Chain A
Amino acid sequence: EAGVTQFPSHSVIEKGQTVTLRCDPISGHDNLYWYRRVMGKEIKFLLHFVKESKQDESGMPNNRFLAERTGGTYSTLKVQPAELEDSGVYFCASSWQTSGQETQYFGPGTRLLVL
């Protein structure tokens, strides 16, 4: 069974540009999470989809970030316009059930560098 995949693995862009990150969850997983790790800090929650609906987007830093999950399959996270502080590693995770005990399986992350 394929794991969570993310694309691209790396992205280097200039301040003010737009970047779109993609996450493909494990097949059959209704729950999809986005997290971010800024250099030297904790991995922090951004938002959670249940199928195509946003269950919780309390971790989204500002309105420059837009996440979608059309059709309840893959998800995209767009940053527009990107700022220097957006640099970090963006992780996607998926789980089957919406439950605290459900294990979230993570992808390899997208390393974003904004210059």
Chain B
Amino acid sequence: AQKVTQAQTEISVVEKEDVTLDCVYETRDTTYYLFWYKQPPSGELVFLIRRNSFDEQNEISGRYSWNFQKSTSSFNFTITASQVVDSAVYFCALSEAYSGAGSYQLTFGKGTKLSVIP
């Protein structure tokens, strides 16, 4: 069975600090996909990134960066120079590449609530 663990329930940082959100996953599949979504106070889930299990290159997008390490089954998300607008709940999710049921449902972690204090 698949599982995603986000051990940090809530994090508070002061604006301009860097912050890393942890994500650890479990799967028996060799091919899978990892996602991060952001849920701002307005409630919708906003897609941030997708990685496949064969691509361990770190990714950077502006102030956001992601560190994927298969050896530790982790897919951590770092925000550099945090801003108040980064305040949100962040979810890590996993999907398998081949589904017997043909469903490709996402397995989510519980989410990490990030508060950036001005």
Minimal Cβ-Cβ distance residue in B for A95: B104
Q: How far is the CA of A48 from the CA of B43 in the complex (A)?
A: 21
Interface residues on B, range: 20 to 34
Q: Is the CB of B99 within 8 A of A100?
A: yes
- Is the pair B104, A98 in contact by a Cβ cutoff of 8 Å? yes
Assess the B104–A100 pair: CB atoms within 8 A: yes
Is B33 in contact with A108, judged by CB distance below 8 angstroms?
no
Residues of B contacting A91 with CB < 8 Å?
45
Q: Which of A43, A56, A104 contacts B101 (CB 8 A)?
A: A56
Q: CB within 8 A of A100: which of B44, B96, B110?
A: B96
- Assuming the A-B contacts A42-B110, A91-B45, A103-B47, are A48 and B105 also in contact, with contact meaning beta carbons closer than 8 angstroms in the complex? yes
Q: Which residues in A have their C-beta under 8 angstroms from that of B111?
A: 42-43
Q: Are B52 and A101 in contact (CB under 8 A)?
A: yes
> Are the CB atoms of B47 and A105 closer together than 8 Å?
yes
Q: Are B43 and A55 in contact (CB-based, < 8 A)?
A: no
8 other A-B residue contacts (CB within 8 Å) besides A48-B104, A104-B47: A48-B105, A56-B101, A89-B43, A98-B102, A100-B31, A103-B35, A106-B37, A108-B42
What is the minimal beta-carbon distance from A89 to any residue of chain B, in angstroms?
Answer: 8
Asked if residues A106 and B45 are in contact (CB atoms below 8 Å), the reply is yes
Q: Is A35 an interface residue (CB 8 A)?
A: yes
Q: Is the CB of B104 within 8 A of A102?
A: yes
Q: Does A28 contact B (CB under 8 A)?
A: no
Q: Are B110 and A41 closer than 8 Å at their CB atoms? A: yes
Compute how far the CA of A44 lies from the CA of B99 in the bound complex, rounded to whole angstroms: 17
Given A100-B97, A106-B37, A108-B42, A56 and B103 touching (CB < 8 A)? yes
Chain A nearest CB, measured from B95 CB (Å)? 5
Bound-complex Cα distance A50 to B109 (A):
25
B96: chain A residues within 8 A (beta carbon): 100
Does A7 reach chain B (CB closer than 8 Å)? no
CA distance A108 to B38 in the complex (A): 12
Contact of B103 among A48, A105, A108 (CB under 8 A): A48
Residues of A within 8 A of B102 (CB): 50, 55-56, 98
Complex: A45 Cα to B93 Cα, angstroms: 12
